[in-house]
């Protein structure tokens, strides 16, 4: 294996995961501990001064979490990763590492409703401001950039509409402005799309969704692409490029090079804000990741069959799924996610809001809940739930209008999924 580059499935099982050195356990153990004993006083001092890598406290680092981080970094093609308590906490730590009060982030309108709410409202408490752009008008990203812009944030496959974003075009804009491109890859997972290969500098995912895959554990992850020059413009990213007082003047970019962003997120963001993933959740997600490619392909195959059936149903006015040949994002899907368009997509019912609410209330096999990426098929009416905080105009721009129903197609027998939707829509 030494001269062979491992394939995706091999990495999903083996990356970062070696037999436990203390016991020989083949599965990664759950290191359910808060803290770790130092070798001696010098070892402790070196760890706290960032002169050595190692475990101090599970809020910052833990061996179970470390295997998870190495595995995700390998699958995404990044230099390093940091696991956190949730996808939202990962977003928070990213912005904390990049932005100061008064700074701006340019975001695609086509985002998960919770992300839209965080950027519009919660992040304002930190003095961080959002400027919105639209993936249907790539020039809107360039127009939104100002001297205060610190990043561009998009989704590879957007939630809830399943829209596929032209990452390379937006990456070119980010590179010209010398700001990092952050891509939320939750709906695609690295099995379908690797954003770093298309110009992304930072990848963020909710581990809760497809990577874990079983709807039983919360988590988020930040992947450092290792491909951004944090020191190019003095003062642009002070947490990375300026001496840090809390580590006796260490400059993160000078000290850690192409893993500097991941280190900064860990030793400044995670250390001080504290949203650490639990070792048990990390273990559960690691177990789920071993079958990522098997599940994702079944998700895609089932979703395409359901989308094709819905497209021919007279009760349905439209279906937005990029794998359908007539979809406006079909060519983009073939470019960025050729193995499939994922499990999540939306469709519109001719009966509008009431028909949407009625359908989600009548399902039997499908689960009516606010999640995606489960082995089970899931359904929700975004306008009355996940996106209910948005205005009618924002709902339409986010792809969550009153007639919209969102599906996350699971890995059950597809005939059973279709039968349940059929009876629920009747």
Query: What pLDDT digit, counting tens, does each position of 179-233 carry?
Result: 999 999 999 999 999 999 999 999 999 999 999 999 999 999 999 999 999 999 9
For 345-385, the pLDDT digits (tens) are: 999 999 999 999 999 999 999 999 999 999 999 999 988 88
53 in any annotated domain: yes
Q: Say if CB 400 and CB 383 are below 8 A apart.
A: yes
Residues 100-104 have a mean pLDDT of 97
180 in any annotated domain: yes
Domain that holds residue 299: 292-425
392 falls in which pLDDT band (50, 70, 90)?
A: confident
Is residue 246 located within the same domain as residue 302? no
| Chosen domain end from 263, 287, 311 | 287
Calpha distance 198→186 (Å, rounded): 16
Residues 257-270 have a mean pLDDT of 98
Residues 280-289 have a mean pLDDT of 98
| Chosen domain end from 287, 320, 353 | 287
3-state class of 232 per DSSP? coil
Is the per-residue pLDDT at 387 higher than 80?
no
Is residue 363 located within the same domain as residue 264? no
Characterize 43-62 residue by residue with b for buried, 16 or more Cβ atoms within 10 angstroms of its Cβ, and e for exposed.
eeebbeebeeeebeebebbb
The pLDDT score that the predictor gives to residue 382 is 87
The pLDDT score that the predictor gives to residue 215 is 93
Is residue 142 located within the same domain as residue 96? yes
Q: How far is CA 276 from the centre of its chain?
A: 16
Is residue 45 located within the same domain as residue 187? yes
Residues 263-273 have a mean pLDDT of 97
Calpha distance 303→360 (Å, rounded): 17
Mean pLDDT (the chain) is 95
The pLDDT score that the predictor gives to residue 161 is 81
95 in any annotated domain: yes
Residue 229, token pair as written in the block: 């020059």
Is residue 205 located within the same domain as residue 81? yes
1 in any annotated domain: no
For 136-162, the pLDDT digits (tens) are: 999 999 999 999 999 999 999 998 789
| Chosen domain end from 237, 264, 287 | 287
Q: Domain with 105 in it: what CATH number?
A: 3.40.640.10
Is residue 47 located within the same domain as residue 150? yes
Is residue 51 located within the same domain as residue 152? yes
Is the per-residue pLDDT at 398 higher than 80?
no
The pLDDT score that the predictor gives to residue 3 is 72
179 in any annotated domain: yes
User: What is the percent of the chain with per-residue pLDDT over 70, rounded to a whole number?
Assistant: 100
Q: Domain with 317 in it: what CATH number?
A: 3.90.1150.10
Is residue 264 located within the same domain as residue 251? yes
Edge-first strand order for the sheet with 80-84 is 80-84, 220-224, 202-206, 181-184, 149-155, 104-108, 129-133
2 in any annotated domain: no
For 26-77, the pLDDT digits (tens) are: 999 999 999 999 999 999 999 999 999 999 999 999 999 999 999 999 999 9
The pLDDT score that the predictor gives to residue 391 is 84
20 in any annotated domain: yes
Is residue 96 located within the same domain as residue 120? yes
Is residue 109 located within the same domain as residue 162? yes
Is residue 59 located within the same domain as residue 135? yes
Report the number of distinct structural domains present in the chain. 2
Q: Say if CB 190 and CB 210 are below 8 A apart.
A: no
pLDDT, greater one: 267 or 386: 267
- Sequence-distant (6+) residues with CB within 8 A of 88 are 114, 115, 118, 220
Is the per-residue pLDDT at 1 higher than 60?
no
399 falls in which pLDDT band (50, 70, 90)?
A: confident
For the stretch 175-178, contacts whose Cβ atoms lie closer than 8 Å and that sit 24 or more positions apart, written own/partner, are: 175/199, 176/142, 177/142, 177/145, 177/149, 178/229, 178/232, 178/233, 178/236
- Residue (of 355, 308, 270, 346) closest to 81 by Cα position: 270
The pLDDT score that the predictor gives to residue 2 is 62
Residues 119-143 have a mean pLDDT of 97
Is residue 159 located within the same domain as residue 201? yes
Q: Say if CB 360 and CB 405 are below 8 A apart.
A: yes
| Alpha-carbon torsion (382, 388, 392, 397), positive or negative | negative
3 in any annotated domain: no
Is the per-residue pLDDT at 92 higher than 90?
yes
Q: Say if CB 247 and CB 240 are below 8 A apart.
A: no
């Amino acid at each position: 294996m030494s001269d062979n580059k491992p394939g995706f499935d091999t990495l999903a099982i083996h990356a970062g995961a070696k037999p436990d050195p203390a016991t020989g356990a083949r599965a990664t153990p759950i290191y359910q501990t808060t803290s770790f004993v130092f070798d001696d006083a010098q070892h402790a001092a070196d760890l706290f001064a960032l002169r050595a890598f190692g475990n101090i406290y599970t809020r910052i680092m833990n061996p179970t979490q470390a295997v998870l981080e190495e595995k995700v970094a390998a699958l995404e093609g990044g230099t390093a990763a940091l696991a956190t308590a949730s996808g939202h906490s990962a977003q928070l730590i990213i912005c904390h590492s990049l932005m100061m009060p008064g700074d701006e982030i340019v975001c695609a309108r086509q985002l998960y409703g919770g992300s839209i709410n965080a950027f519009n409202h919660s992040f304002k408490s930190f003095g961080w401001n959002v400027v919105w752009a639209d993936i249907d008008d790539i020039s809107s990203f360039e127009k939104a950039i100002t001297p205060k812009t610190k990043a561009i944030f998009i989704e590879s496959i957007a939630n809830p509409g399943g829209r596929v974003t032209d990452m390379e075009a937006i990456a070119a804009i980010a590179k010209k402005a010398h700001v990092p491109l952050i891509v939320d890859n939750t709906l695609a997972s690295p099995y379908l799309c690797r954003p770093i290969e298309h110009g992304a500098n930072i990848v963020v995912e909710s581990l809760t969704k497809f990577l874990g895959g079983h709807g039983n554990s919360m988590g988020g992850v930040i992947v450092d692409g290792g491909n951004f020059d944090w020191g190019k413009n003095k003062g642009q990213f002070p947490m990375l490029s300026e001496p840090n007082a809390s580590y006796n003047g260490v400059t993160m970019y000078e000290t850690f090079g192409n893993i500097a962003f991941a280190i900064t997120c860990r030793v400044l963001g995670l250390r001080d804000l504290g949203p650490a993933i639990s070792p048990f959740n990390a273990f559960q997600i690691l177990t789920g990741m071993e079958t990522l490619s098997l599940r994702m392909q079944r998700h895609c195959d089932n979703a395409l069959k359901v989308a094709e059936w819905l497209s021919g149903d007279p009760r349905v006015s439209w279906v937005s799924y990029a794998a359908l040949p007539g979809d406006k994002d079909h060519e983009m899907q073939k470019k960025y996610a050729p193995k499939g368009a994922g499990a999540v997509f939306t469709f519109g019912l001719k009966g509008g809001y009431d028909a949407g609410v009625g359908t989600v209330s009548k399902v039997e096999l499908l689960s009516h809940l606010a999640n995606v990426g489960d082995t089970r098929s899931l359904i929700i009416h975004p306008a009355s739930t996940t996106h209910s905080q948005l205005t009618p105009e924002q709902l339409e721009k986010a792809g969550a209008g009153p007639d919209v129903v969102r599906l996350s197609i699971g890995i059950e027998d597809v005939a059973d999924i279709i039968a349940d939707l059929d009876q629920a829509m009747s």
